[in-house]
Chain A
């Protein structure tokens, strides 16, 4: 009862949450395709390519946090690396990019690997 009550005192607007996650999704899928271009031109294969993808997308999320989330989230009393001011689920914020962009990454990776190397 108490948590429901807190939600009613400071409600969460569904549209704003959707807009936030859509913005994040767009950023992640676009950058994933660009990482694919990079990995293809570098000629990375198998594990090193996927490692490149994981590192780069985590770096993107990190930059997103530092540049967009942290400036307003830290003064409002949230702990560092806590994105709950704008996003519902921490897990989704930090690792969602890995799943969202994977298909686009593989497509452009294959394309540019094929164009440059093979």
Chain B
């Protein structure tokens, strides 16, 4: 097979000092800044009044009793279940019992629910603004430079992505411009942030997007959910549990576990 001659491009070594290192340093520092901005902007959990707290905690109590019923003996489980079902069905734990059966208020009009949305917006902003700024900064200052060569070959499709702003037709797609170094930094700096800021940092936008996909735990008590309906559903769930205890037949298991 004919050997394809390797393209060599003579570049000024100063390119490294004036393009590569500034971009890398800015990316790392932005990550650190984003981490601390997120930490500072995180609003402390809002204090709930006693009635609301009781409503949420008693629902959680029911869920926990249901989930851990196997750890209770038959008698204590029955006692708990009966007490909880009675209270749920009579609405004893409701925040305002006289409003039972009415439609829940519009979540948009409730000021307390706006807090959560604002928090989400802030996180989004902390992610979008630095990215846009850095991207336009790189485009304004460093576009059109070829700074590095990838150590592995790529197909021609990557050319338009890696060599944005370098309109040279015959150049090997392995040569990359400054904007593609920026993209490499976005994806590859996570270990650096892990090392610098501890492993549950908020520096990388990748991790934030992953976290955004996870179901929100606060959704359960979110606005627009009727607590009365939740209580009734939970009472039903508790009523249908077929109770058994892990201690049933424990003597048998113990004797089996002892090797003679």
- Which residues in A have some Cβ–Cβ distance to B below 8 Å? 5, 8-9, 22, 25-26, 29-30, 32-33, 39-40, 44-47, 49-50, 101, 103-111, 113-115, 117-118
Contact = CB atoms under 8 A, between A and B. Distances in A.
Given A5-B246, A45-B151, A115-B16, A110 B184 contact: yes
Question: Which 4 pairs from chain A and chain B are nearest by CB?
Answer: A107-B188, A114-B148, A29-B191, A113-B151
A49 B149 CA distance: 14
Nearest to B200: A22
B34 to A, nearest CB: 18
Given A8-B246, A22-B199, A115-B16, A104 B151 contact: no
18 contacts: A8-B70, A9-B253, A22-B199, A29-B191, A32-B191, A40-B151, A103-B190, A104-B189, A107-B188, A108-B188, A110-B148, A110-B150, A110-B176, A113-B149, A113-B151, A114-B147, A114-B148, A115-B16
A33 B151 contact: no
Given A26-B199, A106-B184, A115-B16, A44 B151 contact: yes
B39 interface: no
Interface residues of B, number: 28
Nearest to B187: A103
B24 to A, nearest CB: 8
B43 interface: no
Contact of B152 (A46, A108, A111, A115): A46
A101 B195 CA distance: 13
A118 B148 contact: yes
Contacts of B246: 5, 8-9
B151 A30 contact: no
Contacts of B218: none
B152 A103 contact: no
A110 B199 CA distance: 24
A106 B149 contact: no
Contacts of A105: 188
B184 A29 contact: no
Contacts of A118: 11, 148-149
A48 B8 CA distance: 21
A108 B246 CA distance: 52
B189 A46 contact: no
Interface in B1-59: 11, 16, 20, 24
A106 B148 CA distance: 13
A114 B149 contact: yes
B185 interface: yes
Nearest to A30: B191
A103 B151 contact: no
Nearest to A23: B199
B194 A49 contact: no
Contact of A49 (B147, B148, B152, B192): B152
A39 B152 CA distance: 12
Given A22-B199, A46-B152, A110-B151, A104 B16 contact: no
A107 to B, nearest CB: 3
Interface string B176-198: 10000100110111111011000
Given A8-B70, A26-B199, A113-B149, A103 B16 contact: no
B153 interface: yes
B127 to A, nearest CB: 18
A46 B184 contact: no
